[in-house]
Amino acid sequence: MTEIPRSCDVLVIGGGPAGSSAATHLAQSGIDVVLLERAVFPRNQVGESLIPHIWKYTDMTGVSEKIEREGFLAKAGGITVWDDKIHQILFSDFGYTRPGLHVERDIFDDILLKHAESCGASVFNEVAVRDIDFGDSRWPQAFYTDKRGHGNHDGAIRCQYIIDASGHSSFLANQFKSRQTISSQLNFLALWGYFHNSRFVGVDRCSHAEQDLTNVKPVTLVMSFEGGWLWHIVLRGKTSVGLIVPTDRTRGMDRRQREVFFKQTCASLPYLSQLLEPASFIEGSLQFRPDYSYYSTNVCGENYYCIGDSGAFVDPIFSHGVQNALYNAAAATLAIKESLKNSKQRLRYSQLCESRMQQFYGFSRALSLGDFGSNGVNPGLVKNLMKSLPPLELELILVASEMTNRSDNFRRLAREAGVLGQFEENFSGRTSVAIEALNF
Ligand SMILES: Cc1cc2nc3c(=O)[nH]c(=O)nc-3n(C[C@H](O)[C@H](O)[C@H](O)COP(=O)(O)OP(=O)(O)OC[C@H]3O[C@@H](n4cnc5c(N)ncnc54)[C@H](O)[C@@H]3O)c2cc1C
């Protein structure tokens, strides 16, 4: 069993997309990085729909080819059925030459983590970080429990920088008590499970049997229903179905009752029930997560960076989670690399990084959470980001913002930033089609 070093330049907590990408960026620059992951990879994870924006980050770390080689399902875009209106987005309409993906996250995340290791990061599975002592600000110390082999062993490691990539357990935000749940009146619960042999929605807006995946490109289906929404994401050999419902709807239910609720709701909804007609639920696959929209008021400091879900997470409706994790990893490691060269400026670099990360987060939040999610978002930062996006990327996001009724803030900010007018005429109406257009 390889011994965990007693010190390193950068310690990364967690081996999801954020942590593994950060470790890769640093190792590729010759920085001594140790990554501690409490699970054994490959491990399960929700979040199977990836938008084409991820490729620019996977190109940066050099892992794109390994992802392509795995042969994940390429998706052409998305279809939403929202308040009885249908919208369709095709990535190719916006100049994207590479597809989005439907990925089994255990496999996808494992590719990224193995890539980090192959680039020189020291990766340890089954090691859970318990506490960070920031008493010595130049050399914070992390205390961990090593669960490898027989029994648990406690240990400690010193480092110059901590990257918290611990996902929704928000390790540092909990230690700092800076984690806030978004909105107390409108909290949602996510329930998701997997089916064998579901039909899927193709790029032609028709429903197809699973065998047709070799001929017809799939799209992600998102649909609103009674105060919530659902996703249908076809994978290789199974399909992920998730329901986002107001927490009140399942209050007081135990696990078995939630499973009954999940199956009954899936069977009662138009389109979804038709897709699932020949399908069988994979018993034991139901999972749920309450209050999943949150943020931390403190994500970067002179010796720590909270990236990916550890710092914030908004509603997954626009599949921004993995993209955000990869973006944060690139931004934080750039700041750390500069800080290692010029330690006098390290506070300044961390502040710049915080502002960049809050900007992207505010952007996602304005896009996904309607009016109720606007507290804490800095509108000026979001507008600046809108103005700096490449035109086609901006147009794609603006079209996406018409697909649901969640993006009122976003469209208002886009108008104020002066970026809506130039595209509005071009796209409005183009993507909305009559409900009958779905040929099931
Ligand atoms: C219901 C739902 C649906 C979603 N759908 C999508 C989607 O379709 N597309 C999309 O892009 N995103 C989606 N997401 C979001 C996406 O899954 C996350 O944004 C993404 O996984 C974030 O990556 P991460 O590396 O920050 O965290 P994670 O992937 O959660 O990885 C964190 C890792 O840290 C480890 N860890 C935690 N604590 C410790 C500790 N103390 N010590 C050591 N290790 C630790 C964990 O074991 C884990 O492996 C969805 C999220 C939810 C809740």
143-175 pLDDT, tens digit each: 999 999 988 999 999 999 999 999 999 999 999
| For ligand 1, mutation pick of 38, 232, 234 (most atoms within 8 Å of CB) | 38
Domains parsed from the chain with CATH numbers: 7-48+104-180+293-355 (3.50.50.60), 188-290 (3.30.9.100)
Q: Is 112 in the pocket of ligand 1 (CB under 6 A)?
A: no
- pLDDT for 290 equals 86
| For ligand 1, mutation pick of 4, 46, 67, 125 (most atoms within 8 Å of CB) | 46
Spell out the residues 6+ positions from residue 141 whose beta carbon is closer than 8 angstroms to its own: 132, 133, 135, 156, 157, 158
Residues listed for the chain? 440
Q: Whose CA is nearest to atom 3 of ligand 1?
A: 47
Contact in structure between 162 and 132 (CB atoms under 8 Å):
yes
Q: How far is the CA of 439 from the centre of ligand 1 (A)?
A: 35
In 10 A of CB 264, how many CB atoms?
10
Q: Is 77 in the pocket of ligand 1 (CB under 6 A)?
A: no
Query: What is the distance between the terminal CA atoms of the chain, rounded to a whole angstrom?
Result: 55
- pLDDT for 429 equals 43
Q: Is 52 in the pocket of ligand 1 (CB under 6 A)?
A: no
- pLDDT for 77 equals 93
Q: Is 165 in the pocket of ligand 1 (CB under 6 A)?
A: yes
Rg (CA), the chain: 22
Q: How far is the CA of 312 from the centre of ligand 1 (A)?
A: 11
Q: How far is the CA of 428 from the centre of ligand 1 (A)?
A: 34
Q: Is 292 in the pocket of ligand 1 (CB under 6 A)?
A: yes
Q: Is 47 in the pocket of ligand 1 (CB under 6 A)?
A: yes
Q: Which two tokens stand for residue 34?
A: 């140790």
- One-letter amino acid of 210: E
Q: Whose CA is nearest to atom 19 of ligand 1?
A: 321
Q: How far is the CA of 110 from the centre of ligand 1 (A)?
A: 13
Phi-psi region of 177 (alpha: psi -120 to 50; beta: other; left: phi over 0): left
Strands (DSSP E) contained in 119-212 are 122-124, 127-133, 141-146, 153-164, 179-181, 188-196, 200-201, 207-208
Q: Is 13 in the pocket of ligand 1 (CB under 6 A)?
A: yes
- pLDDT for 181 equals 84
Q: Whose CA is nearest to atom 18 of ligand 1?
A: 321
Spell out the residues 6+ positions from residue 151 whose beta carbon is closer than 8 angstroms to its own: none
Q: Quote the CA–CA distance of 53 and 49 in Å, as a whole number.
A: 12
Q: Whose CA is nearest to atom 45 of ligand 1?
A: 14
Q: Which residues of the chain fall below pLDDT 50?
A: 428-429
Instruction: Give the number of C-alpha atoms closer than 13 A to the C-alpha of residue 36, restricted to the C-beta side.
Output: 31
Q: Which two tokens stand for residue 341?
A: 């060269």
| For ligand 1, mutation pick of 309, 323, 324, 364 (most atoms within 8 Å of CB) | 309
Contact in structure between 404 and 86 (CB atoms under 8 Å):
no
Q: How far is the CA of 66 from the centre of ligand 1 (A)?
A: 21
Q: Is 100 in the pocket of ligand 1 (CB under 6 A)?
A: no
Q: Quote the CA–CA distance of 110 and 228 in Å, as a whole number.
A: 32
Q: How far is the CA of 18 from the centre of ligand 1 (A)?
A: 8
Q: Is 169 in the pocket of ligand 1 (CB under 6 A)?
A: yes
Q: Is 287 in the pocket of ligand 1 (CB under 6 A)?
A: no
- pLDDT for 423 equals 64
Q: Quote the CA–CA distance of 305 and 285 in Å, as a whole number.
A: 33
- pLDDT for 369 equals 78
What is the SS3 assignment for 292? Answer: coil
What is the SS3 assignment for 17? Answer: helix
Q: How far is the CA of 15 from the centre of ligand 1 (A)?
A: 9
Q: Is 243 in the pocket of ligand 1 (CB under 6 A)?
A: no
Label residues 316-351 b or e (16+ Cβ within 10 Å = b).
Answer: bbbbbbbbbbbbbbbbbbbbbbbbbeeeeebeebbe
Q: How far is the CA of 102 from the centre of ligand 1 (A)?
A: 16
Q: Is 14 in the pocket of ligand 1 (CB under 6 A)?
A: yes
